[in-house]
Amino acid sequence: MIDKNSTTILSVQGLRASINGTEILKGIDLTVKSGEIHAIMGLNGSGKSTFAKVLAGHSAYEITGGSVQFEGKNLLELPPEERARAGLFLAFQYPIEIPGVANTQFLRLAYNTVQGQRGKEELDPLEFDDFVREKMKLLDMKPDFLDRSVNEGFSGGEKKRNEILQMALLEPKLSILDETDSGLDIDALKIVANGVNQIANPSNATILVTHYQRLLDYIVPDFVHVMQAGRIVMTGGKELALELETRGYDWISANKQSVAGVVA
Amino acid sequence: MSAVLQSLVNQPYKHGFVTEIESDIAPKGLNEDIIRLISTKKNEPEWLLSFRLKAYQKWLAMTEPEWQNVHYPKIDFQAISYYSAPKPKKKLASMDEVDPELLRTFEKLGVPMHERAALAGVAVDVIFDSVSVATTYKEKLAEVGIIFCSISEAVQTHPELIQKYLGSVVPVGDNYFAALNSAVFTDGSFCFIPKGVKCPMDLSTYFRINTEGSGQFERTLIIAEEGASVSYLEGCTAPRFDTNQLHAAVVELIALDNADIKYSTVQNWYAGDENGVGGIFNFVTKRGLAKGVNSRISWTQVETGSAITWKYPSCILRGDNSVGEFYSVAVTNNHQQADTGTKMIHLGKNTRSTIVSKGISSGHSNSSYRGLVRIAPTAENARNYSQCDSMLIGDQCGAHTFPYIQVHNNSAKVEHEASTSKIGEDQLFYFSQRGIDAEEAVSMIINGFCKDVFQQLPMEFAVEATKLLSFKLEGSVG
């Protein structure tokens, strides 16, 4: 989906962040343009989920260096809700349960907040119901799902689908999917991947944070980045993911220098 | 706890002001002479004076309870003035004659009395510092035989009913605070729904404590005869003071065969400041007797105020097939302490009870649910379902559940469920990542948590309750 007319959505330079005094991100550089799908791979503890949360503005992390431009704005200055309203979306690795709050109520509030921000019309409960049911078809979700409490008692697959449904509703500029494939069986994985593919278009961008190559069989990335110890140590095309799958992450350490130059 | 959460939960009390009205205050202290003074001031019959004196003797022999999970300095009962009434200029024939200063107070509270009465179709019996100053809709209710007035008035006009029922559910020596109330109560509401009458509107009383240092001892008595039904609303708010004020009310409900009483409370008394200074001590005894077959008593309460709440609205299910319900939301913030719950005493056959309790604690507050379910040997096929959920906001507060279950009949079925949850950074982050700010997030989470109880409130009260929770837990973000 890369084309000449694409614009830069996200530009990360030398980003450093720590939690409780321990540095997790040690200088990340990444540029994401419209129409692109990026995969960030790496072992547990390499900092890839932290990177996702830092971009979304989680308060537990302290930014210690670098800069992030998002659609021409200084992202790091914005509180998390403004980042969301500006079009940055994070699909959570562990979606949070909110007992007593009906999913439809939550989805509508989120939708209307973002719509209001964009100067678009808000939907009343009846209009929203029609709208959300249409989007749910995309993810093969049952209608009763709207009346259940947000994520409460959902299976792993239902939670992840709920995340993608929100992504479909909010139409973000940049979607960051944090380990969305974890805990999904193959059928659910296909449904989720199909949803993501349908949402992706030439004017938005997607970052997939994942441990396994499996997801990339269904969502084909333009770039694959490998993270290690808080840095992106290697960048390549989709074939890099396959390479990783067969050779394992140990292979990276040995070949950092030689492969790193391929695409960057 | 994050700055966002801190500012969310630290919203100052909005109803803090004192109305300047001449008060007729009794000297501080409690003795037989004071009780005689109250009784004389109120022109009471001899039997009521002996009721009071008997209660006083019981009270003298009792000690203040200490089993509850609240801590407060010893109350000096001799430092309290037990009688305070606005000086009546003349007898009031209509609302227009009510002291304008008083009306302004209600305006500030957002309770424009006549408008509220007219628009909402609610008859408001206004209690101002222990004396009813105006009663509306009384005549309309009188047409169907309903008596709704202050208890002082009822003592004069329907002494036989008062004598028959007063103290019949909560005896004078029931507990320390009920005994005190029985000795010194100054006013309250009386409501009588005759046989077969369904009360055509919700009955409502607004309580308000006004004179600094005066305790308030309300007495409420509601009787629903055979086949009658009534929904009664009690709402409270109080001005801001630095000294603690004692409130020890007694409410008695009596439901005869097939009668139905629904009693709803929204309580927002001054809770003390953010350091725990001041605030009302709320020691209340509320009890309903489901005396007749198929009778039903339902308590719904939203408790957001008071420095200390000690309150267990209870049901005695004596009639066969009678039903008891208790729905409660208790919110504590800053240094508030609440020990609240219910008692369901099953005596009759096929009696059923439901308990739904939601406790929300934030700041340094402490909230306890304490509930007793007792199935007597006579209660064949009794059923109880209890659900007690607690929610914590921040990490400095506490929530406790003390269920007591006593089953003396093998056919009983008793269920108890409890849960504790927390509004954490992660929940708020999840909302904010969807563009929703913290204030709306907390409001949505809390309302979701309390949904089961709010559904039980009459419509206009549900709106008020939602607002009160907002006052309490949000507002200053931004």
DSSP string, A174-235: EEEEESTTTT--HHHHHHHHHHHHHH--TT-EEEEEES-SGGGGTS--SEEEEEETTEEEEE
Whichever domain contains A207, its CATH number is: 3.40.50.300
Residue A155 is assigned to a structural domain of this protein:
no
Locus of tokens 């939690």 = A19
Q: Smallest CA–CA separation between A89 and chain B, in Å?
A: 7
B339 neighbors B15 (Cβ within 8 angstroms): no
Verify whether the Cβ–Cβ distance B432 to A98 is below 8 Å. Answer: no
**CA gap A179, A46 in Å, rounded:** 13
**CA gap B146, B193 in Å, rounded:** 5
Residue of B nearest to A87 (CA): B435
List C-alpha distances in Å: A96 to A29, A58, A107, A160: 29, 14, 14, 11
Verify whether the Cβ–Cβ distance A110 to B435 is below 8 Å. Answer: yes
Residue A133 is assigned to a structural domain of this protein:
no
More confident residue, B233 or B461: B233
Candidate from A81, A83, A166 with C-beta closest to B437: A81
Q: Which of residues 124-163 of A touch B (CB under 8 A)?
A: 149
Q: Which of residues 1-60 of B touch A (CB under 8 A)?
A: 2
Q: What proportion of chain B, given as a percentage, has pLDDT over 70? A: 76
- Spans of chain A below 70 pLDDT: 1-4, 254-264
B431, B439, B440, best to mutate vs chain A, most A CBs in 10 Å: B431
pLDDT at A229: 92
Verify whether the Cβ–Cβ distance A166 to B434 is below 8 Å. Answer: yes
Q: Is the per-residue pLDDT at B25 higher than 70?
A: yes
Residue A215 is assigned to a structural domain of this protein:
yes
B270 neighbors B279 (Cβ within 8 angstroms): yes
Q: Is the per-residue pLDDT at B476 higher than 90?
A: no
B386 neighbors B373 (Cβ within 8 angstroms): yes
Domain extent, residue A33, equals: 8-94+174-259
Take residue B342 and report the two structure tokens written for it. 């219910």
**CA gap B311, B282 in Å, rounded:** 8
**CB-based contact, B440 to chain A, within 8 Å:** yes
Closest CA to B448 of A64, A149, A86: A149
B21 neighbors B86 (Cβ within 8 angstroms): yes
**pLDDT band at B407, cuts 50/70/90?**
very high
pLDDT at A27: 95
B325 neighbors B294 (Cβ within 8 angstroms): no
Verify whether the Cβ–Cβ distance B435 to A56 is below 8 Å. Answer: no
Per CB-CB distance under 8 Å, the chain A contacts of B435 are 81, 84-85, 110, 113-114, 117, 170
Indicate the number of domains in chain A: 1
Residue A102 is assigned to a structural domain of this protein:
no
Q: Smallest CA–CA separation between A135 and chain B, in Å?
A: 17
Q: How many CB atoms lie within 10 A of CB B34?
A: 19
Task: Tell me if ipTM is over 0.90.
Answer: yes
List C-alpha distances in Å: B441 to A69, B8, B10: 27, 11, 16
Residue A249 is assigned to a structural domain of this protein:
yes
**CB-based contact, B421 to chain A, within 8 Å:** yes
Q: Whole-number mean pLDDT of chain B?
A: 80
Residue A157 is assigned to a structural domain of this protein:
no
Q: Give the predicted TM-score (pTM) of the model.
A: 0.77
Q: Helix or strand or coil: residue B212?
A: coil
List C-alpha distances in Å: A126 to A108, A115, A131, A135: 10, 16, 9, 15
Candidate from B426, B436, B451 with C-beta closest to A96: B426
Verify whether the Cβ–Cβ distance B445 to A106 is below 8 Å. Answer: no
Verify whether the Cβ–Cβ distance B444 to A117 is below 8 Å. Answer: no
pLDDT at B134: 43
Sheet order of strands, A231-236 included: A88-91, A174-178, A205-210, A37-42, A223-228, A231-236
A34 neighbors A9 (Cβ within 8 angstroms): yes
pLDDT at A164: 93
- Lowest-confidence segment of B45-54, B301-310, B317-326 by average pLDDT: B301-310
pLDDT at A174: 97
Residue A123 is assigned to a structural domain of this protein:
no
Residue A208 is assigned to a structural domain of this protein:
yes
Q: Which of A254-258, B77-81, B345-349 has the highest mean pLDDT?
A: B345-349
Verify whether the Cβ–Cβ distance B421 to A99 is below 8 Å. Answer: yes
> DSSP character for B236?
E
**pLDDT band at B459, cuts 50/70/90?**
confident
Q: How many CB atoms lie within 10 A of CB B94?
A: 9
Torsion of CA B291, B292, B293, B299, to 10 degrees: -60
